[in-house]
Chain A
Amino acid sequence: MKVKVGAFLGGLVFGIGLVISGMTQPAKIVGFFDFFGSWDPSLAFVMLGATAVYTPVYRWAVRTWQRPIWAPAFSLPTRKDIDWRLISGSAVFGVGWGLGGYCPGPAFTSLGAGSREAFTFGAAMLVGVGAYQLFMKAREGRTGGPVDPQAAAMIDG
């Protein structure tokens, strides 16, 4: 129960952070990448604010704690190699981000706000996420194990 409530609160605070920072307004995302028009650097400040908090907490917790407070172990990415999936997937994601002005977090939060555009974008996004995962799972079923064990087990984020 506490794990579920904790996860809910985490999502809630994350979502409020997204709204306050302006990331639920696609014009601010497009504005950040619009170097030849009227540039809006806000996105860089969001990432600076977030990493300024996250980086020291991560180093402290992962180095000095035996385990997280409510879980038996940390579930952290282990891969170090740069592969074609990472590059091509990120490239495709960037095209969608620039085109729609939403990344996954703001899409969920704007969906809650009743945005019609976020609904259209979000529905297509979930179809993409679901289709990819179900396709990979089916492939793993046929081959009797993860096609790419590390990719299946350890998602970066």
Chain B
Amino acid sequence: MALMESFTPIASTLGGVLIGIAAAGLLMFHGRIAGISGIAGGIFRREPGDISWRVMFLVGLFAAGVVWSYFRPLDYAFEIERSTLALVIAGLAVGIGTQLGSGCTSGHGVCGIGRLSKRSTVATITFMATAAATVFVVNEVLGGAI
């Protein structure tokens, strides 16, 4: 097991702190859990009065990409080998899986573990395990491309 050159402990911790601040802000001001898949899923449920804040949060996420890519486009580099079909299957799995499992990395992994929720801890261990198994198959069995 060799440590990657691109390991970024300081930047990743700082970025994590910003994520924590944003999630804490959404809790303190809006009383909501900052789970991206839950925020997105709620838009499709179309409950009156419960749509605009969700849309605006996702627009904010999108805007961060627009602004930051202007200065540092390489921060969005896609340096793994994936076919269009693999990306479509991956997107569908993430879309359906996060709704069925009611949460993703942010909702279960950050907020749920932060709340010391047993459900979220079990969910996080589960998706980490299947992600690791998938990467093992792609990298070690298929040679890194699919």
Residues of A within 8 A of B (CB): 3-31, 33-43, 45-55, 57-58, 61-62, 65, 67-71, 73-77, 79-82, 85-105, 107-118, 120-134, 136-137, 151, 155-157
Beyond A27-B77, A157-B108, list 10 extra A-B contacts (CB 8 Å): A6-B30, A7-B53, A17-B20, A19-B15, A39-B2, A54-B114, A68-B31, A89-B96, A96-B91, A129-B98
**Of residues 74 to 120 in B, which have CB atoms within 8 Å of A's CB atoms?**
75-80, 82, 84, 86-120
Is B12 touching A49 in the complex (CB atoms < 8 A)?
Answer: yes
Task: Give the chain A neighbours of B69 by CB distance below 8 A.
Answer: 112-114
Is B88 touching A58 in the complex (CB atoms < 8 A)?
Answer: no
Of all chain B residues, the one with the shortest Cβ separation from A133 is B44
Is A71 touching B31 in the complex (CB atoms < 8 A)?
Answer: yes
* Known contacts A97-B131, A121-B91; A134/B12 CB under 8 A: no
Our pick among A18, A75, A94 for the contact of B19 (Cβ within 8 Å) is A18
**Of residues 19 to 65 in B, which have CB atoms within 8 Å of A's CB atoms?**
19-38, 40-42, 44-45, 52-54, 56-65
Our pick among A11, A33, A96, A129 for the contact of B90 (Cβ within 8 Å) is A96
Question: How many B residues have CB within 8 A of the partner chain?
Answer: 121
* Known contacts A8-B63, A91-B130; A113/B73 CB under 8 A: yes
Is B30 touching A38 in the complex (CB atoms < 8 A)?
Answer: no
Is A93 touching B97 in the complex (CB atoms < 8 A)?
Answer: yes
Is B95 touching A47 in the complex (CB atoms < 8 A)?
Answer: no
Is A110 touching B53 in the complex (CB atoms < 8 A)?
Answer: no
Is A16 touching B30 in the complex (CB atoms < 8 A)?
Answer: no
Is B1 touching A39 in the complex (CB atoms < 8 A)?
Answer: yes
Of all chain A residues, the one with the shortest Cβ separation from B93 is A96
* Known contacts A14-B23, A15-B62, A120-B88; A7/B4 CB under 8 A: no
Task: Give the chain B neighbours of A25 by CB distance below 8 A.
Answer: 75-79
Of all chain A residues, the one with the shortest Cβ separation from B31 is A68
Is A54 touching B56 in the complex (CB atoms < 8 A)?
Answer: no
Task: Give the chain A neighbours of B44 by CB distance below 8 A.
Answer: 129-130, 133-134, 137
- Give Cα A85 to B101, complex, Å: 5
Q: Min CB distance, A75 to chain B, in Å?
A: 5
- Give Cα A49 to B19, complex, Å: 8
